[in-house]
């Protein structure tokens, strides 16, 4: 019975890994990026500022390097910083 459960757990982990890669790559292959969306209507933004922000957020890296960086951070429990709430994602509410 435990052999069956371990097999199912291994299958689940493989499916999660494959699905996360597929979803990440599909989103990454869409045209544009968040920096483009942020500054689309602002004529005062300099190209140097856009390049600097892309470097800060890692959007200047190839897609496979961004995925492996994201996967490494996610496995360590680092899910990033919420700009909406101005705090790390996994911070307790109180």
Mean pLDDT over residues 34-55, rounded? 85
- The pLDDT score that the predictor gives to residue 94 is 52
List pLDDT tens digits, range 50-73. 899 899 888 899 999 999 999 999
- The pLDDT score that the predictor gives to residue 92 is 63
Beta strands in the chain (DSSP E): 81-82, 87-88
- What is the radius of gyration, based on Cα positions, of the chain? 18
The answer to whether the CB of 76 falls within 8 A of the CB of 87 is no
- Residue 70, both tokens: 């994201």
- The pLDDT score that the predictor gives to residue 44 is 86
Mean pLDDT over residues 40-45, rounded? 82
Query: Residue 93 — very low, low, confident or very high, per pLDDT cuts 50/70/90?
Result: low
| Average pLDDT taken over every residue of the chain | 88
């Amino acid at each position: 019975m435990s052999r069956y459960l371990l097999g199912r757990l291994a299958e689940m982990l493989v499916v999660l890994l494959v699905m996360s890669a597929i979803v990440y790559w599909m989103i990454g292959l869409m045209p544009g990026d968040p920096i483009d969306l942020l500054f689309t209507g602002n004529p005062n933004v300099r190209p140097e500022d856009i390049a600097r922000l892309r470097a800060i957020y890692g959007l200047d890296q190839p897609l496979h390097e961004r995925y492996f960086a994201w996967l490494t951070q996610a496995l360590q429990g680092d899910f990033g910083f919420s700009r909406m709430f101005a705090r790390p994602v996994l911070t307790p509410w109180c």
